[in-house]
């Protein structure tokens, strides 16, 4: 007898490999998947605005990348000793205005070029609930601890999700006609919105993505949300906050993601990288023996062999440890 429902994830017809670039944008769950690819030395760009949750902020950010927007001091706000942008996560905030601008504009410049060349765009939507400033109706990506009374809360409707994506995607296709978009809905529960409101939000996102898949070619869906809620389906697979997936759950979803999205021809290289990272992390009792020196040089040789074939791979951390 089966006591769980294992979800079969459809595989992409054209998968990602080491010649590909992939940009990840959206909730912290998209960072989880992007960081796995980064760990395996794929060419990725992860959350150029920091973590974003709602479709409005995500599509606004993507349009900024398409237009290579450069922020000025007029785009920043100052509060609680920090300069910040309502379009960015607090990881871009700084006590120094120039440093804040430099971080924001450097990320946009790098990510704008990356988006125009990427083969894969992964978008993870977290919530359909959004906030706008009452003073100017500006939709924000992050409230930055501004008092709640300054904002209006609203639910982004399905039709608006579709239209905002349409505007962005049509512009992107003119510049990057071969790009593929893979959507997912974050399995993270936004219980601060309320349990019922969280379900309304996730349903809105799912309906929007479903319609996008019907209306646009080169748009796909990866069922991260369903894998946690309908496949694993147990509080054992949640972190202590009972909202985020546990490390074990994230790894399970990553394995499903890997099989559905990454070419199997990449597997030997990924195993080689696993061995290199494990070797770099190894802590011997005596690091000065001839045997360990040989072990280090052998591992460096493996790195050099991979870099000869894949010059973009970054082994800076591993080489620093091994040298």
Q: Are both 26 and 137 inside the same structural domain?
A: yes
Do 216 and 133 belong to one domain? Answer: yes
pLDDT value for 174: 97
- pLDDT at residue number 284: 83
| Domain that residue 95 falls in | 21-262
Q: Which of 63, 72, 54, 62 shows the shortest CA–CA distance to 24?
A: 62
Residue 298 located in a structural domain: yes
Residue 161 in contact with residue 204, Cβ under 8 Å? yes
Of the candidates 262, 277, 301, which is a domain's last residue? 262
CATH number of the domain where residue 29 is located: 3.40.50
Residue 300 lies in a domain: yes
| Residue 5 belongs to a domain | no
Verify that 149 and 42 share a domain, yes or no. Answer: yes
Please list the pLDDT of the chain residue by residue as tens digits (323 residues): 777 788 999 999 999 999 999 999 999 889 999 999 999 999 999 999 999 999 999 999 999 999 999 999 999 999 999 999 999 999 999 999 999 999 999 999 999 999 999 999 999 999 999 999 999 999 999 999 999 999 999 999 999 999 999 999 999 999 999 999 999 999 999 999 999 999 999 999 999 999 999 999 999 999 999 999 999 999 999 999 999 999 999 999 999 999 999 999 999 999 999 999 999 998 888 878 988 899 999 999 999 999 999 999 999 999 999 98
Same domain as 118, residue 87: yes
Q: Are residues 133 and 171 in the same domain?
A: yes
Residues 133 and 91 in one domain: yes
| Phi, psi dihedrals of residue 50, rounded to the nearest 5° | 80, -175
pLDDT value for 147: 95
In a domain, 273, yes or no: yes
On whether both 272 and 187 belong to a single domain, the answer is no
CA 91-96-101 angle, to 5 degrees, is 65
- My answer on whether 148 and 236 are in the same domain is yes
Single residue among 244, 262, 280 that ends a domain in this structure: 262
Instruction: Give the closest residue to 29 by CA, choosing from 163, 210, 229.
Output: 229
pLDDT of residue 195: 94
Q: Is residue 3, in this structure, part of any structural domain at all?
A: no
> Residue 1 domain-assigned?
no
Question: Does residue 2 form part of some domain?
Answer: no
Same domain, 306 and 228: no
pLDDT of residue 5: 85
Q: Are residues 215 and 323 located together in one domain of the fold? A: no
For the chain, the domain total comes to 2
Say whether both 45 and 174 belong to one domain. Answer: yes
Burial 123-151 (b: 16+ CB within 10 A, else e): bbbbbbbbbbbeeeeebbbbebebeeeeb
Identify the bridge partners of residue 15 per DSSP, sorted by sequence position: none
Q: What is the pLDDT of residue 30?
A: 93
CA dihedral for 71, 73, 76, 80, sign (positive or negative): positive
Does any domain span residue 207? Answer: yes
Q: Tell me: do 297 and 246 sit in the same domain.
A: no
From 217, 237, 262, the end of a domain falls on 262
């Amino acid at each position: 007898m089966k006591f769980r429902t294992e979800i079969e994830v459809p595989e992409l017809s054209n998968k990602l490999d080491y010649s590909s670039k992939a940009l990840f944008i959206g909730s912290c769950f998209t960072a989880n998947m992007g960081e796995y690819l980064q760990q395996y030395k794929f060419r990725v760009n992860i959350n150029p605005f920091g973590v974003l949750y709602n479709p409005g902020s995500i599509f606004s950010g993507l349009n900024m990348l398409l237009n290579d927007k450069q922020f000025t001091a007029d785009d920043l706000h100052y509060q609680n000793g920090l300069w910040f942008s309502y379009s960015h996560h607090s990881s871009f905030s700084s006590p120094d205005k120039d440093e804040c601008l430099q971080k924001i504009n450097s990320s946009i410049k790098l990510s704008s070029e990356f988006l125009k060349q990427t083969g894969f765009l992964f978008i993870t939507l977290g919530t359909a609930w959004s906030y706008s400033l009452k003073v100017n109706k500006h939709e924000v990506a992050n409230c930055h601890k501004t008092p709640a009374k300054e904002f209006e809360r609203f639910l982004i409707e399905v039709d608006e999700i579709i239209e905002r994506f349409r505007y962005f995607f049509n512009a992107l296709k003119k510049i990057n006609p071969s790009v593929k978009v893979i959507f997912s809905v974050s399995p993270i529960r936004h219980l601060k919105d309320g349990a019922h409101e969280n379900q309304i939000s996730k349903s809105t996102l799912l309906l929007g993505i479903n319609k996008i898949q019907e209306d646009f070619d080169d748009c796909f869906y990866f069922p991260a949300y369903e894998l946690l809620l309908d496949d694993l389906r147990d509080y054992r697979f949640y972190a202590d906050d009972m909202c985020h997936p546990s490390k074990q759950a994230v790894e399970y979803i990553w394995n499903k993601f890997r099989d559905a999205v990454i070419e199997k021809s990449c597997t030997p290289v990924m195993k080689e990288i696993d061995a290199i990272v494990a070797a770099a992390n190894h802590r011997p009792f005596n690091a000065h023996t001839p045997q360990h020196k040989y072990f280090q040089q052998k591992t460096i040789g493996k790195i050099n062999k991979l870099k000869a074939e894949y010059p973009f791979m970054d082994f800076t951390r591993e080489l620093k440890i091994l040298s």
